[in-house]
Structure formats: C-alpha cells, structure tokens
Amino acid sequence: MSAQVAARIKALRNEVAQTSCRLAEELENRTEWLQTRLSRLESNEQSKKTRLVALQNKVASLRRELGLQIAQNWQQTEEEVVSLRKQLVDNQQEVDGISQRLARQRMDFELAAAQDCEIAPGMILNVASTDKGYQRVDGWIRLVPDGRTLWVREQGIRQPIFFYTRQGGLPFELVFTRVTDTGAVGYILMPD
C-alpha cells in the first residue's frame, strides 16, 4: 500500500470523524432544542390541566352553593306563600265579617212634592219643595218609632244623608238621584 493511499485513507477517516462529530453535535443540539421545546409543552399542558382541574372544582363548588341557595330560597318562598295564603284567608274572613255587618238593603222611591211616602218601615219622607234647575230638595224625614223628625234643607242629588235610629247599629243612607218640577226620585240604604 502506498503512502498516498494510506494518507488518503487517513484523510477520509479524519473527514468522516469530523463529519461524524459535526453530525453528532448537530444532532445533540437539535435533540436538546426538541427536549427543551417538549419540556415547555409538557409544562404548559400540566399548567393547563391544573387550571382545568381548579376550574372544574370551582364550578362544582358553585353548583353546590347555588343548589343550596335555590333550596333555601324555595323553602323560604314556600313559607312566604303559606303565610300569604293564611293572611288572604284571614283578610277574606275579615272582609266577609265587615260585609255582613255592612249588608244593606236598597229601597227605591219616587214621590211627588208635598206628599208623604213611607220609604222604609217606620220612615216617612216628605218633599216640601224642589228646585229642578239646581237639583235640590227641601223636606223632612219622620222616624215614627223614634218620634223624631229630620229636616232636609237644600239637599243636592248624589249627596247622601246619613242618619241613625234609636235602635243604633249601622246608619241609614238617603240619596236623591233626580229632582223634577213635581217631585224627586232616589233610594234609601238600610242595614239588613
């Protein structure tokens, strides 16, 4: 073997060794870069998983709290509804009681001027004069059982006259609804 071939083989070996070292170094650099990149990705993924688990735990906790609040609110609302229903029943009973106490009987009347008219048992109304223009009446009401006379002076329409009998209780209410030249029309509300 010649010295030239040996030198050439040696040069090729050196070149292969250098290329091999460069490739190994380059491969090492690339592997290190990939390793760093992979570590970052794994770290990011772990961080995201940790955040996701924390968020899932928070959502579960909020759901539990919300469920408890809804249950408490529902119970409170049910209690309020029961209380309101009881108040409604009590109020209705009260209204019914008042309604019974205030129950009225209506008796309509139409009478001519200067004529006595029994508008209710034991009550005689007399319209002495009328003023059709001003819709006013003058006259009197005689309460026969009480032996009293109530005077009516310039009484307008739709203006109630309230009075009591000696028997007490609720008031009577006399209302004129229309006045004519010759008389008056109206009604009396009496306790039932």
Q: What is the pLDDT of residues 115-137, one digit of tens each?
A: 999 999 999 999 999 999 999 99
Q: What is the pLDDT of residues 40-92, one digit of tens each?
A: 888 888 888 888 888 888 988 888 888 889 888 889 989 999 998 999 888 88
- Bigger pLDDT: 192 vs 56: 56
Across the range 90-109, mean pLDDT stands at 81
Residue 5: count of CB within 10 angstroms of its CB: 9
Question: Is it the case that residue 1 has pLDDT exceeding 80?
Answer: no
Q: Per-residue confidence at 174, pLDDT binned at 50, 70, 90?
A: very high
Token reading at 171: 């008031």
pLDDT above 90: residue 187: yes
Distance in angstroms (rounded) separating the CA atoms of residues 101 and 34: 97
Strands (E), 35-77: none
Cα 132 to the chain's mean position, in Å?
51
Predicted confidence at residue 101, as pLDDT, reads: 65
Rounded distance, CA 43 to CA 121, Å?
103
- Res 102 pLDDT > 70: no
Contacts of 124-127 with CB under 8 Å at 24 or more apart are 125/174, 127/183, 127/184
